Structure 1
Amino acid sequence: MTEANANDILVRFRDVQKSYDGESLIVKQLNLDIRKGEFLTLLGPSGSGKTTSLMMLAGFETPTAGEILLGGRSLNRVPPHKRDIGMVFQNYALFPHMTVAQNLAFPLKVRRLDKTDIAERVKRALAMVQLEKFAQRYPGQLSGGQQQRVALARALVFEPQLVLMDEPLGALDKQLREHMQIEIKHLHERLGVTVVYVTHDQSEALTMSDRVAVFHHGEIQQIDTPEGLYEHPRNTFVANFIGENNRLSGKLLSRDGERCTVGLDSGECIEAMAVHDAAPGQPVSLSIRPERVSLGAGSEGSHNRFSGRIREFIYLGDHVRIRLEACGNSQFIVKQPIAQLDASLSVGDVIPLTWHVEHVRALDPTVVAE
């Protein structure tokens, strides 16, 4: 890493481990650089280590081994209130006996700012989250979305270099959650503050982040842009966890550079991108996104041409999910925009399927007992 690049790093996890019982590691050997000004999401299922990693950065948990640095300074012995980090929780953690303005002023008073400066910063923070008219209300008089905005403003009011968010939208209904995702994203773009965000919601991670770190069993499986994770998953776990995915099991028959041929258990041969480093004869799992499969006789030049029997149509407004029996998989899904759907198709029809080689990836074999 060059010196210029090193100056772009705000947070650095170096060989960080966390164990609660001295035996099993909740976080294993975490090495992660977080860039200044980026929106990084830690994504993963429950127990994957993402929240523990965030809590170690906040100072609410202590690493069992390794070191966490903020701006080049070790945080290992720095208490939470001296880390210059803003924090937003799912339950808002607002003081119920204080008005909105008093809640926002609190972190500034703790830092001993003068009254004029406090008033100015509170006013600016309220404007930032469009709650100027609610300054004298109490949290109990606000809706969930408004309370979340206050919590956000309170985390930003003292202008920290880093803001941590732990499932902050989990308590909101779907529509409000989606609205707040865009609001937080726009706020981040405007302020340029570094955000580390924890969620188990994959669509939230894809919508909001510059980069996403996918956690599983205490390790980062892949860290990439949302598009990189979705289009180029490095292993079966990432392919299955991010978005919808058709999985087919088979054995590697041959490999030629980046491409390979896989023989399915059901007899078909598929040409795919060789991601997993398997030798001929070894098992692999194929990953194909439902929207990358073409129905009908199109894509004449495609090497991957098969047929499938339609089992079910699932109408979702803007698109239809078609469940087929194809390539030995009775749950093979194809997504079609409603405008492109052939209205003459019906359950029981056998239709041609095609997909391009670059849209199917040969990954590590699927582990059934996960």
Structure 2
Amino acid sequence: MKLPVSASESFVEFAGVQKSYDGEVLVVKDLSLRIRRGEFLTMLGPSGSGKTTTLMMLAGFETPTSGDIMLDGARIDSLPPEKRNIGMVFQNYALFPHMSVAQNVGYPLKVRGLPKSEIAERVAKALDMVHLGSFATRMPGQLSGGQQQRVALARALVFEPKLVLMDEPLGALDKQLREHMQMEIRHLHERLGITVVYVTHDQSEALTMSDRVAVFNAGIIQQVAPPAELYESPANSFVAQFIGENNRLPGRIEAANGTLCSVVLANGDVVTATLTDAARVGEDCLLSIRPERVKIAPPGGPLDNHFEAVVAEMIYLGDHVRVRCVLDSGADVVVKVGNVEDRPVFSVGSRIPLGWRAQDCRALDAA
């Protein structure tokens, strides 16, 4: 696991940045964030969470209300977008329909006044990079959505920018093509070693592509961490809910012993869980357990928590069966049961034993 980014390692830095459009409501609140050179960082969050506004401030299309934005050690708050040497890829591609693929890709070099021979050489290299070397003379209208997105990516990379920003670049593509392009962009990042700041509201996309993910909500970063840490150790109930599927059981923390705590559910059942910084003894909390960590297992095994439940619903999803159960407390618990030969046999209405380890169950804030 990488340690937090130090000032000396910082390539992009937001220091106390705030943004308001009307002088009253802050859409970005006291943002402090450091990004390493060569890192792929994704800003993830629901609509209106501040992630796109943050990206636009970094690009130069929006101005911070207060705070500083640094790029490679220099303040860029007052620099216009064209002076920042930053590549940008948008969701709608923003290709010029009257220009060929080569002309679109070469446009950033043309406005910089490079000679035609160098433009041709760089354009050919950029198109080969995105596997479109034979498409130079085609027009954007002759391309598929995925091909247009590759052209937009080549255009963002052709002038060798310090930084590439991507704003929901795959949002208009279908699921299969989107997943393919996720890996293409990830592999391109690995080959070139460029710094990428990526915005999405799709949590699976963020987990697939990123070195680290910054989760936004209501203008505030809730947690910045590598994908595995976000999923396995969410800092609060919002992150747990937003990243992946999550069982949530309300309760109250009665006691703690080191990293473990005892949580009493509404019906009096007691759950042993991992205590986090988001919860306190004597306060209400929300228990977070991932569906794949809930086991159908009788008491007496290596699990710390054992309960009885009634199967309420079963959904076949190919590689696994999604089983929704109801505990005696009345709470719903979803279990992912692998579609393997020796999986337990039961049906809707069956009463089954459930359990999970304390380390897989986190006590988070009640909010």
TM-score bracket relative to the smaller structure: over 0.9
Task: Map Cα deviations across residues 277-331 of structure 1 (whole Å, 9 max, x no partner).
Answer: 5443310110000000110227713220111110111010111100000253453
C-alpha deviation, 1:141, in angstroms: 0.7
Match of 1:332 in 2: 333
SS of the aligned residue for 2:156 comes to: helix
C-alpha deviation, 1:336, in angstroms: 1.1
- CA–CA separation in structure 2 for the residues paired with 1:299 and 1:91: 56
Task: Decide whether the 8 Å contact of 2:235 with 2:278 is kept in 1.
Answer: no
Matched residue type, 2:321: V
Runs of 4+ in 1 over 2 A off after TM superposition: 4-8, 276-281, 296-299, 327-331, 340-344
Are 1:73 and 2:74 an aligned pair? yes
Are 1:344 and 2:337 an aligned pair? no
- CA–CA separation in structure 2 for the residues paired with 1:66 and 1:103: 35
Further displaced range: 109-118 or 231-240: 109-118
Matched residue type, 2:64: P
SS of the aligned residue for 1:339 comes to: coil
- CA–CA separation in structure 1 for the residues paired with 2:237 and 2:105: 44
Match of 2:153 in 1: 152
Task: Map Cα deviations across residues 52-104 of structure 1 (whole Å, 9 max, x no partner).
Answer: 00000000000000010101111111000010000000000001110000011
Match of 1:186 in 2: 187
TM-score by length of 2: 0.96
- CA–CA separation in structure 1 for the residues paired with 2:359 and 2:134: 53
Q: 1:298 to 1:104 in 2, by over 3 A?
A: farther
1:101-250 → structure 2 map (5 Å cutoff)? 101-250=102-251
- CA–CA separation in structure 2 for the residues paired with 1:327 and 1:16: 48
Match of 1:309 in 2: 310
Gaps of 5+ in 1: none
Match of 1:90 in 2: 91
C-alpha deviation, 1:22, in angstroms: 0.7
Task: Map Cα deviations across residues 152-195 of structure 1 (whole Å, 9 max, x no partner).
Answer: 00000001010000000000000000000000000000000000
SS of the aligned residue for 2:256 comes to: strand
Task: Decide whether the 8 Å contact of 1:248 with 1:329 is kept in 2.
Answer: no
Task: Decide whether the 8 Å contact of 1:123 with 1:132 is kept in 2.
Answer: yes
Task: Decide whether the 8 Å contact of 1:236 with 1:365 is kept in 2.
Answer: yes
Match of 2:276 in 1: 275
Q: 1:155 to 1:271 in 2, by over 3 A?
A: same
Task: Decide whether the 8 Å contact of 1:235 with 1:364 is kept in 2.
Answer: yes
SS of the aligned residue for 1:233 comes to: coil
SS of the aligned residue for 1:6 comes to: coil
Count of residues in Structure 1 that have an aligned counterpart in Structure 2: 364
Percent identity over the alignment? 62
Match of 1:57 in 2: 58
Are 1:286 and 2:290 an aligned pair? no
C-alpha deviation, 1:362, in angstroms: 0.2
Gaps of 5+ in 2: none
- CA–CA separation in structure 1 for the residues paired with 2:46 and 2:148: 26
SS of the aligned residue for 1:344 comes to: coil
Task: Map Cα deviations across residues 142-161 of structure 1 (whole Å, 9 max, x no partner).
Answer: 01000000000000000101
Q: 1:299 to 1:40 in 2, by over 3 A?
A: farther
TM-score by length of 1: 0.96
- CA–CA separation in structure 1 for the residues paired with 2:225 and 2:201: 16
